[in-house]
Chains A and B, each alone.
Chain A
Amino acid sequence: MTEKKEEIRTGFYICHCGHNIGSVVDCPAVVEYVKGLPGIAVSRDYKYMCSDPGQELIAQDIREQKLNRIVVASCSPLLHEETFRKATSMGGLNPFYFQMVNIREHDSWVHTDKNAATEKAMDMARAAVARVRFHRALEKKKAPIHPDVLIVGAGIAGIHAALTLANAGKKVYLVEREPTIGGHMAMFDKTFPTLDCAACILTPKMSSVKNHPNITMWTYSEVTSVDGYVGNFTIKVRHKPRYIIEDLCVGCMACIDACVFKQKFEDEFNQGLSKRKPVYIPFPQATPQVVVIDPEQCLKLKTGKCKESCAEACDRKAIDFNQKETIEEIKVGTVIISTGFKSFDAKKLPQYGWGIYPNVYTALEIERLVNASGPTGGDVVMRDGKHPKRIGIIHCVGSRDESTNKWCSRVCCMYSLKLAHLLHEHSEAEIYNFYIDMRTPGKSYEEFYDRLLKEGVNFVRGRVAEITDWAMNKDEEDHLVIRVEDTLAGFVRRIPVDMVVLATGLEAREDAQDVRRLFNIGCGGEGFFMERHPKLAPVDTFTEGIFIAGACQGPKDIPDTVAQAGAAAAQCLALIDAGAIELEPNTAFIDEQSCSGCKSCISLCPYTAITFDAVKKKAVINEALCKGCGTCVGACPSSSIIQNLYEDDQIFTEIEEVLAHV
């Protein structure tokens, strides 16, 4: 080790964080205690260290007191390490002569015993003060940012982000697994609270995406592998075979007419309310306007025996039964994940009768049913062919429920109001809403609720117990009966209706965990992707260069989704236009003097950053490939690998010092 005999002059600062730390940890006592530790030149407390005056305090002390080491005891380094490193360099010191002590998240917020918490703060401060002696000046590496962006999922979030970036002149790859872009929003009839039609505001954006010179739109495709790091990702995308040559198909649909099958397969886009053929186009405004053949249903693809009337009907010869999946590799610098949500499966609550009673519908089914281009052209006709005279809408199905999902799905109250309005408009039926609490926080949302109240929709406060067809009197015969405790009136009611709508909640996608692993990001306990910070970094993830937008991060409505998509696009732009990003210098290197050339480290590196120099008989670490996990360091039998910021000396000192108080 290079040993310069410099006098260590450490500055120690403890933050009260208002009352957050100060009310549990005795900060002045810690200050006094630290004063007695070796190498301490300054020991202070301050109300808010992260504030401007707090940071200036550090910088000024460095200049005036000739400090060469800084320790700040405050919140988590994940929150403010960068802040205090900047303050350290503001004072003219290399920012890596700084160490942070987490006495808020790991101490004052989790302990109630003030003495024990103060003692813990002292232990941690002592360890940091000792550790920081071993710190060295480091330089941050710079990684160039590839200007292209990958967006995964082309619902309204992906579409909006793609257009924002493309309009800024950036090249975007927009990957969508379904045969068309548009996502859930394309299925909606109208949007709350303005009641403008979803298609009218979405489809122009969809066609802009398709025609934009800067957007490469890949539908029916999925990301299969992700390699690299911020600024320099290598992505593999699998194009599933459509059995249609996309460039040739003009969407005339002659093949669909010619197909030998009757319409007998469930139409996914219409939630199974209508049937389609094996060759189909998801909906009239689908983008791209290209048909797709379902290989599980197509006679030719399944059995090889069909007269291929579809291929005959196609005068552009666009049908290709021999199409195989292809894998394409692209390079991008940043990624936005906007994979959306999944609707709660109403089958999980059999007491509400979905899938048992034909006239029980999910909200998404109703969106299709009232849609002018839906299976009935907007006519509210039930599965039994009748028109409803009374409709009950049940809120919080798969939301705010210990037995299913604890969270509020945020959009259901509003879309229930919207559906109440639309169903009444289309059928003139009497509408009942069964709610726990009405949640209408949003611009013009409460006003919309008020409008519905005036329109004469009935509201019953109470969670519905069950839907049944057991009639107890003549009025209930041939009806579905909603059993509910009306908590405002204070008694249990039985309300006979013709149709029931379940306001199903929003959940994370079934394969969110796979996507999370693929992109090396995190999921919260509910399964939605986790943001780096709920308030200050809502579209960032813990992996640099990967951003999240829309309902994949948590339930949200269209305005919030669009806002978040714009934010994610802005984050990408910030990186791209900066041209490069500074990386943590926590990489490892080999001490050639002591390396014995045993090669134990080489096979351990997940990034093949370690090679063997056959001439010198030493291991060599390629710093550009090293991501700084330190696995090789932990395994080196001769301690010849050194990880910046996590050196053996630093950690052993920390171990010794946290225990020194025993």
Chain B
Amino acid sequence: MSEQFEPRIVAFFCTWCTYTAADLAGVSRLKYAPNIRVIRVMCSGRIDPQFILEAFAHGADGVLIGGCHPGDCHYIEGNYKCLRRAHLLKRVVQDMGIEKERFRLEWISAAEGDRVKTVVNDMVAQIKAIGPLRLPSRFKQWDAEMRELEATVNHTEEMTHASQA
């Protein structure tokens, strides 16, 4: 494995505000950490909670959602819908043992290229500090544990059946 941990962050940016802000960061030649992979959606309201869970399940160390500031949504209120889902999801994710730093929702307007930079760098630093999530390998481990457990249970059952017979 690599000597230094480089977190993988999947970002979902709405096309009107945060994606445009990331474009502006580029046009302004701001420099930020290369750990982020942006997936474009029309509106943060499109973001299905499943997207976030799926990203973690496939090995993301962090997930970032970027939408328009409250009141600025191109589709009137999609960002509020996103916020409601994110609140719930934050709790679900934390209950699953995923640290809260790994899931972040940010309002970044099309004019805030510098904020893209700050948020990405900040998130990368935070996740570097808490280390990798490694959900896929944890899944494997849990699966193995489950199989082991099942095997033990089956074995015990067989034993009881055998002794009864």
Chain A interfacial positions (CB closer than 8 Å to B): 76-78, 102, 104-107, 109-113, 116-117, 119-120, 123-124, 127, 517, 520, 522-525, 530, 542-543, 586, 604, 606-607, 627-631, 633-635, 643, 646, 648, 651-652, 654-656, 658-660, 662
- The complex places the Cα of A325 from the Cα of B59 at a distance, in Å, of 60
Contacts of B136 in A (CB 8 A): 662
| CB <8 Å contact, A634 and B45 | yes
Contact for B58 among A110, A120, A524, A659, CB less than 8 A: A659
Shortest Cβ distance from B32 into A: residue: A110
Cβ–Cβ contact A656 & B37, under 8 A = no
Minimum CB–CB distance from B9 to chain A (whole Å) comes to 10
A523 to B31, CA, bound (A): 23
Q: How far is the CB of A542 from chain B (nearest CB, A)?
A: 6
B30, A110: Cβ atoms closer than 8 Å: yes
B39 touches A106 (CB 8 A): no
Report the count of interface residues on B (CB-CB < 8 A).
Answer: 52
Q: Is the CB of A655 within 8 A of B46?
A: no
The answer to whether B110 and A530 have CB atoms under 8 Å apart is: yes
Instruction: Using CB atoms, name the residue of chain A closest to B47.
Output: A634
How far does the alpha carbon of A181 sit from the alpha carbon of B88 in the complex, in Å? Answer: 52
Q: What are some 14 contacts across the A-B interface (CB < 8 A)?
A: A76-B23, A78-B19, A104-B26, A110-B32, A127-B37, A522-B16, A522-B111, A523-B109, A523-B111, A630-B46, A631-B81, A651-B48, A652-B50, A662-B136
Contact (Cβ within 8 A) B8 A659:
yes
In the complex the two chains form, what is the Cα distance from A296 to B84 in whole Å?
Answer: 44
User: Beyond A104-B26, A109-B27, A110-B31, is A522–B43 a contact (Cβ under 8 Å)?
Assistant: no
A659→B60 contact, CB < 8 A? yes
- Asked whether B58 lies within 8 Å of A656 as measured between CB atoms, the reply is yes
Q: Is the CB of B81 within 8 A of A586?
A: no
Give chain A residues whose Cβ lies under 8 Å from the Cβ of B123: none
Chain B residue numbers with a CB within 8 Å of A127 are 37, 39
Q: Is the CB of B34 within 8 A of A633?
A: no
Q: How far is the CB of B55 from chain A (nearest CB, A)?
A: 5
- Distance in Å: Cβ of A609 to nearest Cβ of chain B: 11
**Closest 8 A/B residue pairs (Cβ):** A105-B26, A630-B46, A631-B45, A629-B75, A629-B43, A109-B26, A116-B34, A658-B37
Contact of A604 among B22, B23, B72, B81 (CB under 8 A): B81
Find out whether the CB atom of B85 lies under 8 angstroms from the CB atom of A658: no
Q: B131: CB under 8 A from chain A?
A: no
- Are A631 and B39 in contact (CB-based, < 8 A)? no
Given contacts A110-B29, A542-B20, A656-B54, contact A629 B34 (CB under 8 A): no
Report if A651-B39 is in contact (Cβ < 8 Å); known contacts: A106-B22, A110-B26, A658-B10: yes
B51 at the interface (CB under 8 A from A): yes
Could you tell me the distance in whole angstroms from the C-beta of A432 to the nearest C-beta in chain B? 38
Instruction: Report B-chain residues with C-beta under 8 Å of the C-beta of A109.
Output: 26-27, 29
The residue of chain B having its C-beta at the shortest distance from the C-beta of A648 within the complex is B48
B81 adjacent to A105 (CB under 8 Å)? no
Within 8 A of A (CB), among B2-50: 6, 8, 10, 15-17, 19-20, 22-23, 25-27, 29-32, 34, 37-43, 45-50
Given contacts A78-B19, A117-B34, 20 further A-B contacts (CB under 8 A): A106-B22, A106-B23, A107-B34, A111-B32, A112-B31, A123-B37, A127-B39, A517-B71, A525-B111, A606-B75, A606-B76, A606-B77, A607-B76, A646-B41, A646-B46, A655-B39, A660-B58, A662-B8, A662-B58, A662-B136
B119 CB, nearest partner CB in chain A, Å: 13
Closest to B14 in A: A629
Interface centre among A102, A105, A111, A604 (most CB of B within 10 A): A105
In the complex the two chains form, is A517's CB within 8 Å of B20's CB? no
> B49-92 vs A: 1/0 string, CB under 8 Å?
11100110011100000000001101111100100010000000
Q: Cβ of B112 < 8 Å from any Cβ of A?
A: yes
Q: Is the CB of A530 within 8 A of B85?
A: no
In the complex, which residues of chain B have a beta carbon less than 8 angstroms from the beta carbon of A658? 10, 37, 39
Q: Which of A520, A630, A655 contacts B55 (CB 8 A)?
A: A655
The residues of B that contact A124 with a CB separation of less than 8 Å are: 37
Residues in A whose Cβ lies below 8 Å from that of B37: 120, 123-124, 127, 658-659
Question: Which of B6, B29, B30, B75 gathers most chain A CB within 10 Å?
Answer: B75
| Residue among A523, A630, A656, A659 making CB contact with B41, cutoff 8 Å | A630
Please give the distance in Å from B23's CB to the nearest CB on chain A.
4
Among B8, B71, B111, B136: residue with most chain A CB under 10 A: B111
B71 nearest in chain A by CB position: A517
Q: Are B31 and A631 in contact (CB under 8 A)?
A: no
For the complex, give the distance between the alpha carbons of A639 and B78 in Å: 18
Q: Is A662's CB under 8 angstroms from B46's CB?
A: no
Question: How far apart sit A654 and B74, CA to CA, in the bound complex (Å)?
Answer: 24
Known: A78-B23, A110-B29. A629 touches B54 (CB 8 A): no
Contacts of A520 in B (CB 8 A): 74
- Asked if residues A631 and B110 are in contact (CB atoms below 8 Å), the reply is no
| Residues A105 and B42 in contact, CB atoms below 8 Å apart | no
Q: A77, A110, A523, A652: which has the most chain B beta carbons within 10 Å? A: A110
Kindly list chain A residues whose C-beta atoms are within 8 Å of the C-beta of B74: 520, 542-543, 629
Distance of A77 Cα from B39 Cα, bound (Å): 12
| Shortest distance between the CB of B1 and any CB in chain A (Å) | 11
Given contacts A105-B22, A517-B72, A659-B59, contact A631 B38 (CB under 8 A): no
